[in-house]
Amino acid sequence: MSETTAHQPADSAALRAILTRVVEGGARPLLVALDFDGTLAPLQDDPARSRILPAGVQALARLAGTDGVALALVSGRAMNDLHTLAEVPPGTYLVGSHGAERARVTRFGLDRDVVQLTDEQADRLASLGAQAAQVARGRDGVWVESKPTAVVVHTRLAPPEVAELAEAEAMELGERLGAGVLHGKDVVEISVLRASKGEAMTALRDELGAPVVVYAGDDVTDEHAFDALEEHDVTVKVGGGETGAQFRVDSPEDLVAVLSDLADRVGA
């Protein structure tokens, strides 16, 4: 009888060893792409209170300032929100709304690709907003976030049975009316555009001609990026849960320590 073994990502000691090999291998540009919430910023009940860890700000500044390293944040956050919270230096690539929004940080702000919804998409977004509000109505701890291309039903503060019902209704709404629906950590995101972190990563790596990518993320939406990357890339899951990533670290604090170490190794 054959037995299937669940994939077990390697630990942070193995991760540090592989990063040393990647740096010494000399393939450049090295694209370091990182999710935001739960990866660089510990999760919060109120998304507006999320902050990147102070040691993370320093590590990212060092990485972004190093020749041969390209830094990207790849998030489900709306672009303006991500830019405000990220505290990243000029030159950093930002991927927002799971890939529906793209920009690069400059000394003066953002150089961004404009997202233009069709009239039909704009109408659909308005209708999704109204119907998502119905899902939240009367349910303790359930609320709706609006983004330029999506609405998000949040359930982190709801009792488990309330959260489960709200998420099921939001998923149903997404499948009925959305172009894409993603079930993340205590969120259901319904978008009027098709986008995924996997497609966004493939596009960015091709554009930069990056032979090696280091990608870290904590949520199920990051699995699309893990899947899209290649065997010789370095994929890191932050925290628990099933994953297709090759490596796992326990927390954002642990990831930031690995990034500081990486910055030392690339000579930042």
Binding interface with ligand L263DTV3 (CB under 6 A): 35-38, 43-45, 47, 50, 75-77, 145, 152, 154, 156, 184-187, 189, 219, 221
Nearer to ligand L263DTV3, 9 or 239 (CB): 239
Q: 139, 135, 138, 141: which is closest to 155 by C-alpha? A: 141
Strands of 39-137 (E only): list them.
69-74, 93-96, 101-106, 109-112
Q: How far is the CB of 185 from ligand L263DTV3 (least distance, A)?
A: 4
Nearer to ligand L263DTV3, 108 or 240 (CB): 240
d(CA 71, CA 105): 11
Unique residue bearing structure tokens 């592989």:
18
d(CA 154, CA 243): 23
Nearer to ligand L263DTV3, 171 or 268 (CB): 171
Q: 191, 179, 122: which is closest to 150 by C-alpha? A: 191
d(CA 78, CA 151): 10
Nearer to ligand L263DTV3, 133 or 268 (CB): 133
Q: How far is the CB of 253 from ligand L263DTV3 (least distance, A)?
A: 15
d(CA 103, CA 80): 10
Q: How far is the CB of 128 from ligand L263DTV3 (least distance, A)?
A: 14
Q: How far is the CB of 96 from ligand L263DTV3 (least distance, A)?
A: 9
Which amino acid type is present at position 48?
A: A
Cα radius of gyration rounded to whole Å, the chain: 19
Q: How far is the CB of 23 from ligand L263DTV3 (least distance, A)?
A: 26
Q: How far is the CB of 170 from ligand L263DTV3 (least distance, A)?
A: 13
Nearer to ligand L263DTV3, 156 or 265 (CB): 156
Let me know the angle formed at the C-alpha of 178 by 174 and 182, rounded to the nearest 5 degrees: 55
Would you call the peptide bond into 160 cis, given omega within 30 degrees of 0 as the criterion? no
Helix (H) or strand (E) holding 151: strand 150-154
Which amino acid type is present at position 227?
A: D
Nearer to ligand L263DTV3, 31 or 94 (CB): 94
Q: 43, 77, 234: which is closest to 226 by C-alpha? A: 234
Nearer to ligand L263DTV3, 47 or 89 (CB): 47
Q: How far is the CB of 2 from ligand L263DTV3 (least distance, A)?
A: 36
